[in-house]
Structure 1
Amino acid sequence: MTDCGCDKAKAELEEYLHNELCASDVQDIREHLANCADCTSEHHVGRVLTEAVQRACRETAPETLRAQVLFSIREIQATH
């Protein structure tokens, strides 16, 4: 494989983080990340953000808050 370069690595970073690339592109990105501190830094930030969003999506609102929100929505819907 050859180094794919920063432009390709940065353009495909999101897909790389979500395992949405073909095997050859994954290998190209991995090789590039192994040799480029700047892209490795961006990859780290992207990974941390992705993990934070995934954790947040697993959390649920307390039942009292959920009930309040649903009540407010129903009140608004009833007046429109």
Structure 2
Amino acid sequence: MTDWGCEKAKAELEEYLHNELLTEDATDIAEHLANCGDCDGERRVGLVLTQAVQRACKEIAPEDLRDQVMTRIREMQAH
């Protein structure tokens, strides 16, 4: 394992949180995070934001709002 250092770990943090890295790279970042409080803090913030976005994406707009938006889109497409 190679300690990536803070700059590289933070640059790859989003991919790490989304499990988009090769296993070896993910292992290296996990090792760095375990030994670096600053980067682990960044990981925790990123995790909270990722979870908030995932929850927001599951929400459905009220039907009347959806109807208004679709009506406006159709009006714009007609012009």
Question: Equivalents in 1 of 2:8, 2:28: separation in Å?
Answer: 9
1:25-64 to structure 2, matched below 5 A, reads 25-64=25-64
Q: 2:45 aligns to what SS in structure 1?
A: helix
- Offset of residue 39 of structure 1: 0.3
Cα shift at 1:43: 0.6
Q: 2:42 corresponds to which letter in structure 1?
A: E
Whole-angstrom distance in 1 between the partners of 2:25 and 2:74:
48
Q: Which residue of 1 aligns with 2:24?
A: 24
* Separation in 1, partners of 2:13, 2:71: 41
Per-residue Cα deviation, 1:35-59 (whole angstroms, up to 9, x for no partner): 1011011111111111111111111
For structure 1, list consecutive stretches of 5 or more residues without a partner in the other structure: none
Percent of counterpart pairs with the same letter?
71
Q: Tell me which stretches of 4 or more aligned residues in structure 1 moved more than 3 Å.
A: none
TM-score of the superposed pair, with normalisation by structure 1: 0.90
What letter corresponds to residue 76 of structure 1 in structure 2? M
- Looking at structure 2, the residues matched to 3 and 69 of structure 1 have their Cα atoms a distance apart, in angstroms, of 49
Whole-angstrom CA distance in 1 between matches of 2:75 and 2:21: 46
3-state DSSP of counterpart to 1:9 = helix
Look up the match of 1:74: 74
SS in structure 2 opposite 1:3? coil
